[in-house]
């Protein structure tokens, strides 16, 4: 009884401290402290609070579990609101891009460049992932599976069985929006790409109406712009909750992380971040090749990358992604909408490129598969194909890994060994994913002569949370 009261007392104390910290962030907002400073403050406070709880109570203690459950009201609630706006935002962003047709006859060229950037970089990312896995000597056969890992492995094997039950042509058909209203609910693994395809059809239909029936086209355009404004107003409200959500998410993540597993799987974590950092450097090299200042680019995108890193949601970062491109990097709104939206379902460098490639090399020795040139070339090709449709949704990296491993006839269940360090790796993957879509937007705008170089080069930084 006494022990229960002590646990309750510490839990209440933790919650009171958490509420006071939230109040502090609210006061900062009232004093008009910039959005980026509030986000960074929330990030730092969340890490410190989580670390103190982890050291004081332990990751698996009842106090920690109960406390983080209450913290989850803010953290998980924030994530739920992000998920709420994702599908409508993807849809309206793509359709709105078609209405902003100042792009004129270059529209097809812009779409082509965005596609090339997304697919080209995911091929490079897969190559980097393979090299990193080989350099670090990753081998799944040397790792002992605990009960949690075995359970996760069994779950993944079942998912793989379900996903690969159909033929390749049938899998391709699954990408199509058979029922757009169902896909808006996100119930299918391919819902995101289906919404993207549906929005693209609507966009091309608008162009046809605008060309043949200008009056009706004008009405449709005004309607789309009105809906876009409403959606963006909702987005603005959700984004202003970002500091509170990040504080809760980081506190929960640090407090409940299994650092023992991190020690065991440290080599994979190091290899992953070595690959992620290398790929980010390659992104900056591409920026330099485009004739743009990479340091200025980093300063302007840092805020949205921090958000993506902490939230672990490429889709949730979509609004900030678009705003960063438009208001800081000088990318026209239409191109920004297209690159950010298509980047959610095509060619994600972290989740669909590096991760499944590293996993395949790691698992190959278990299946007595030699990692030779033929295997590497095949793996890169499979990664490129699998990057369509499954990346960018919840568990996108997992689905991409399942597709790659099952296609290569590698044991999917061994992917469960990474369950303990998955959140930590997912942070870096998500940030790289978001940066890749911004790179696609900047690169496409530059190559087609649509980039506002003056805006890109200026040192003024707009508040991303209030630009709508």
Q: What's the per-residue H, E or C state across the chain?
A: CHHHHHHHHHHHHHHHHHHHHHHHHHHHHHCCCCHHHHHHHHHHHHHHHHHHHHHHHCCCCHHHHHHHHHHHHHHHHHHHHHHHHHHHHHHHHHHHHHHCHHHHHHHHHHHHHHHHHHHHHHHHHHHHHHHHHHHCCCCHHHCCCCHHHHHHHHHHHHHHHHHCCCCHHHHHHCCCCCCHHHHCCCCCCCHHHHHHHHHHHHHHHHHHHHHHCHHHHHHHHHHHHHHHHHHHHHHHHHHCCHHHHHHHHHHHHHHHCCHHHHHHCHHHHHHHHHHHHHHHHHHHHHHHHCCCCHHHHHHHHHHHHHHHHHHCCCCCCHHHHHHHHHHCCCCCHHHHHHHHHHCCCCCCHHHHHHHHHHHHHHHHHHHCCCCCHHHHHHHHHHHHHHCCCCCCCCCHHHHHHHHHHHHCCCCHHHHHHHCCCHHHHHHHHHHHHHHHHHHHHHHHHHHCCCCCHHHHHCCCCCCCCCCC
Domains of the chain with bracketed CATH:
2-457 (1.10.3860.10)
Mean pLDDT, the chain cut into blocks of 10 residues (468 residues total): 73 89 91 81 88 83 86 86 81 81 65 89 92 85 53 53 54 74 76 81 87 87 88 82 87 76 71 93 95 92 86 78 88 86 80 85 82 88 75 59 76 65 80 92 91 85 55
pTM summary value: 0.80
pLDDT the model gives residue 460? 67
Q: What is the pLDDT of residue 155?
A: 54
pLDDT number for residue 167: 52
- Write down the pLDDT at residue 157: 52
What pLDDT does 262 receive? 60
């Amino acid at each position: 009884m006494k022990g229960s009261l002590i646990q309750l007392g510490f839990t209440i104390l933790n919650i009171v401290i958490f509420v006071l910290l939230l109040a502090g962030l609210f006061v900062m907002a009232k004093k008009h402290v910039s959005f980026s400073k509030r986000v960074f403050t929330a990030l730092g406070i969340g890490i410190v609070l989580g670390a103190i709880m982890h050291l004081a109570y332990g990751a698996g203690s009842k106090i920690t579990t109960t406390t983080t459950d209450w913290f989850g009201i803010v953290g998980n609630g924030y994530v739920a609101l992000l998920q709420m706006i994702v599908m409508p935002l993807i849809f309206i962003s793509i359709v709105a891009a078609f209405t902003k047709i100042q792009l004129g006859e270059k529209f097809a060229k812009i779409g082509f460049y965005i596609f090339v950037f997304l697919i080209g970089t995911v091929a490079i990312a897969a190559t980097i992932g393979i090299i990193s896995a080989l350099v670090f000597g990753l081998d799944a056969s040397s790792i002992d599976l605990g009960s949690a890992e075995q359970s996760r492995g069994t779950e993944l094997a079942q998912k793989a069985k379900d996903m690969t039950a159909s033929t390749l042509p049938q899998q391709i058909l699954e990408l199509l929006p058979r029922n757009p209203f169902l896909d808006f609910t996100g119930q299918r693994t391919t819902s995101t790409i289906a919404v993207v395809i549906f929005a693209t059809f609507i966009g091309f239909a608008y162009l046809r109406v605008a060309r043949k029936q200008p009056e009706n086209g004008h009405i449709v355009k005004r309607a789309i712009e009105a809906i876009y404004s409403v959606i963006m107003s909702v987005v603005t409200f959700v984004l202003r909750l970002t500091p509170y959500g990040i504080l809760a998410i980081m506190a929960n993540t640090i407090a409940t992380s299994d650092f023992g597993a991190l020690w065991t799987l440290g080599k994979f974590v190091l290899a992953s971040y070595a690959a992620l950092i290398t790929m980010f450097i390659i992104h900056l090299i591409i920026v330099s090749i485009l004739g743009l200042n990479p340091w200025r680019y980093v300063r302007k995108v840092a805020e949205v990358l921090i958000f993506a890193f902490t939230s672990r949601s490429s889709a949730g970062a979509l609004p900030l992604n678009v705003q960063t491109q438009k208001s800081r990097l000088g990318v026209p709104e239409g191109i920004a909408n297209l690159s950010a939206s298509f980047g959610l379902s095509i060619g994600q460098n972290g989740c669909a490129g590096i991760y499944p490639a590293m996993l395949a090399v790691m698992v190959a020795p278990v299946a007595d598969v030699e990692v030779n040139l033929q295997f590497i070339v095949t793996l890169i090709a499979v990664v490129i194909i699998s990057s369509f449709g499954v990346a960018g949704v919840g568990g996108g990296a997992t689905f991409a890994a399942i597709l790659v491993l099952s296609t290569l006839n590698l044991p999917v269940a061994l992917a469960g060994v990474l369950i303990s360090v998955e959140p930590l790796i997912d942070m870096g993957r998500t940030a790289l994913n978001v940066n890749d879509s911004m790179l696609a937007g900047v690169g496409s705008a530059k190559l087609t002569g649509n980039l506002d170089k003056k805006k890109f080069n200026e040192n003024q930084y707009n508040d991303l949370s209030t630009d709508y």
